[in-house]
Amino acid sequence: MSLQLIAPRVQPPLDEGFHPAVLANRNFQREAESVGVRLVLGLERSADDFSRFETRVLPEGHPNFDANYQFIERIVKFLLWQRGGHTLYVGGSHKIADYLKKTYSANGARSFDYKFMGKQVYEKNFSVIACDVDEVPASHETGKLLGRNLQGHRIGFDLGASDRKVSAVVDGTPIYSEEVVWEPRKHADPDYHYREIMTALKTAASKMSRVDAIGGSSAGIYIDNRPMAASLFRGIPGDRFGEIKNLFLRIREEMGVPLEVINDGDVTALAGSMSIEDNGILGIALGSSEAAGYVNTEGHIMGWLNELAFAPIDYSPNAPDEEWSGDKGCGASYFSQQCVFRLAPKAGIEIPVDVTDAEKLKAVQEKLEAGHEGVSKIWQSMGVYLGYGIAHYADFYDIKHVLILGRCTSGRGGDLLLESAKKVFETEFPELLKKIELHLPDEKVRRVGQSVAAASLPIV
C-alpha cells in the first residue's frame, strides 16, 4: 500500500516503530485537499439509525490513487467499531467500493468484522453498497436522552467479569449496595446468569418499599436491551445464546417496571457527565482491555458501539496483532494492561508467570511506585499513545472532556499518562489544549457513581 506513514514528533520511549493513524490520515487529507473528490460513507444500524462520514480521496487517474484503499479501509474499520452497522454505503468511487466489498467479505481480510457486524450483532448479512455521492441516505441519529432520572425508588446494577454490583437508590441516593463475586464466563447455562441477576435485583428491591425502575451496565454490545456480544457470556453455546439475547427482556417483564441496560463505558461517561455537569464526554478505561463510552454535546447516548479496543490507532505494518480480531494496531494493544505486558520486556522487566493478570499488573505497578526508570517508560509510552489516540478520536467524536479511568491509571501511572498525553498535544496538536480537558477520576468525577448513573437510565 502507498499510504504514507508519518513518524511522530513525540516518540514513545519503548516503541520506535509507532506510526499514529491520526498523522497518516491528516497527511493524506492535505494531499487530497486541492485535487481530491468527495467520498461519503454511510452506516445503517436500523431503520431509525443511520450515520454518515464524509471525506476526500484522490481521483481516478491520480498517480497515488492506490493510497485511497488503505486510507478508506482504516476509516471504515474505525467507524464500524465506533458506531456499528450492518450495511455500508460507499458514495463516490466505485473502485473503492469494490475494494471494500472484497475486503469486508466472508473470505476477505476483514472476514472477522464481516461476520461480527453482520449475523452476530445485527442479525443480518453485512453488505457494501456502491452508489453516487448524492445517493447515500441522509444522516439520522439523535441518540437517546437516557439517564439523569433520579426521582423515585430505583435499582442500579453493574455486571463485571469478576463481580456483580447492585444498589438500591432512592431519589438519587444509594441506601444499600453490595458486591458479589461470580464467574459468569465459566458457566454455559443461561439459567445461571438469570438466577444471579435476579438474586441481585430482589436483594436490592427488599431494601425499598417499592421499585419504580431498573437500570444496568455491562461490558459488551447491547442493542435495545439485548446483549449481542459480551465477554460475560462467552461460555454460552451458540444454540442457547438466544436465551441470553432475551435475558433482560424476560427480567423486565417479570419485574414489571421499566428496565434499561447499556454498555458499561456509556454509563461511565454518563456518570462523568452528571458529575462534571457538562457534556461532550468520552470515557476511556484502561483495564484488562480498552473500554469506552460517549455522551454527545447534547447529553445524548448515541446507541453507538464505542468498542474502541478494536479500532486502529497505529498504522505501522509491525504493530501488534489484536488477539481476538487478528487486526493490527488496535486500541486494546495500547490502552490496557496488555500494553504493559507487551512493553515490559523492552523496559527490562520480567513479568511473573503462573499468576493472574491482575497480579502481573500489580507487580509492575509496585516497581513503578518504587521509581523504576524502565517501568516509568512503559507509562510514558502509553501516555504518548494516548495523546495521539485522543487526537485521532477527536476526528470522529465531538469531545470537550476525556475521562481516563481503569486500573492502569492508579497511582503514579495516571500522572505519567497525562503528562505524556499533554506533551503530545503541546507538540503536535496545540488546538486540542484549548478544546479538550483531560480528567483523572477525582472526587468531582466520582460524585455520581456508576450505580446511581445506571439506576437513572430508565424514564418512568
pLDDT in tens, 92-105: 999 999 999 999 99
**End-to-end C-alpha distance for the chain, whole angstroms:** 54
User: Is the model's pLDDT at 448 over the cut of 70?
Assistant: no
User: Is the model's pLDDT at 45 over the cut of 80?
Assistant: yes
User: Is the model's pLDDT at 384 over the cut of 70?
Assistant: yes
Query: Which range among 39-43, 142-146, 380-384, 436-440 shows the weakest confidence by mean pLDDT?
Result: 142-146
The predicted pLDDT at position 443 comes to 65
Share the mean pLDDT of the chain. Answer: 94
Residue type, 279: N
Tell me the pLDDT tens digit for each residue of 316-334: 999 999 988 899 999 999 9
| Angstrom distance (rounded) from CA 293 to CA 291 | 7
Residue type, 222: Y
User: Is the model's pLDDT at 441 over the cut of 90?
Assistant: no
Place 214 in a pLDDT band, splitting at 50, 70 and 90: very high
More confident residue, 231 or 332: 332
Which runs of consecutive H residues, i.e. helices, occur in 141-284? 190-205, 241-245, 247-255, 264-276
Tell me the pLDDT tens digit for each residue of 77-127: 999 999 999 999 999 999 999 999 999 999 999 999 999 999 999 999 999
Place 444 in a pLDDT band, splitting at 50, 70 and 90: low
Contacting residues for 219 by C-beta, under 8 A, at least 6 apart: 159, 160, 161, 230, 231, 232, 263, 264, 291
User: Is the model's pLDDT at 130 over the cut of 60?
Assistant: yes
Largest CA distance in the chain: 72
**281-286 and 290-295 beta bridge pairing:** antiparallel
The predicted pLDDT at position 446 comes to 65
| Angstrom distance (rounded) from CA 223 to CA 303 | 8
How many CA atoms, within 13 angstroms, populate the side-chain half-sphere of residue 331? 26
Q: Where are the beta strands (DSSP E) in 64-143?
A: 87-91, 127-131
Residue 3 Rama label (left phi>0; alpha psi -120 to 50; beta): beta
User: Is the model's pLDDT at 1 over the cut of 70?
Assistant: no
Q: Return the bridge partners of 217, or none.
A: 158, 262
The predicted pLDDT at position 119 comes to 93
Tell me the pLDDT tens digit for each residue of 341-373: 999 999 999 998 888 888 999 999 999 999 999
Q: Return the bridge partners of 213, or none.
A: 154
Apex 227 CA angle, 142 and 274, nearest 5 = 50
103 sits in which H/E element: helix 94-103
Tell me the pLDDT tens digit for each residue of 172-182: 999 999 999 88
Place 52 in a pLDDT band, splitting at 50, 70 and 90: very high
Which runs of consecutive H residues, i.e. helices, occur in 327-411? 337-343, 357-369, 373-393
Contacting residues for 425 by C-beta, under 8 A, at least 6 apart: 387, 391, 432, 433, 436
The predicted pLDDT at position 9 comes to 98
Domains of the chain in sequence order: 36-135 (no CATH), 153-267+450-455 (3.30.420.40), 273-447 (3.30.420.40)
User: Is the model's pLDDT at 447 over the cut of 80?
Assistant: no
Mean pLDDT on 387-415: 95
User: Is the model's pLDDT at 300 over the cut of 80?
Assistant: yes
Mean pLDDT on 53-71: 96
User: Is the model's pLDDT at 425 over the cut of 80?
Assistant: yes
| Angstrom distance (rounded) from CA 84 to CA 44 | 8
The predicted pLDDT at position 260 comes to 95
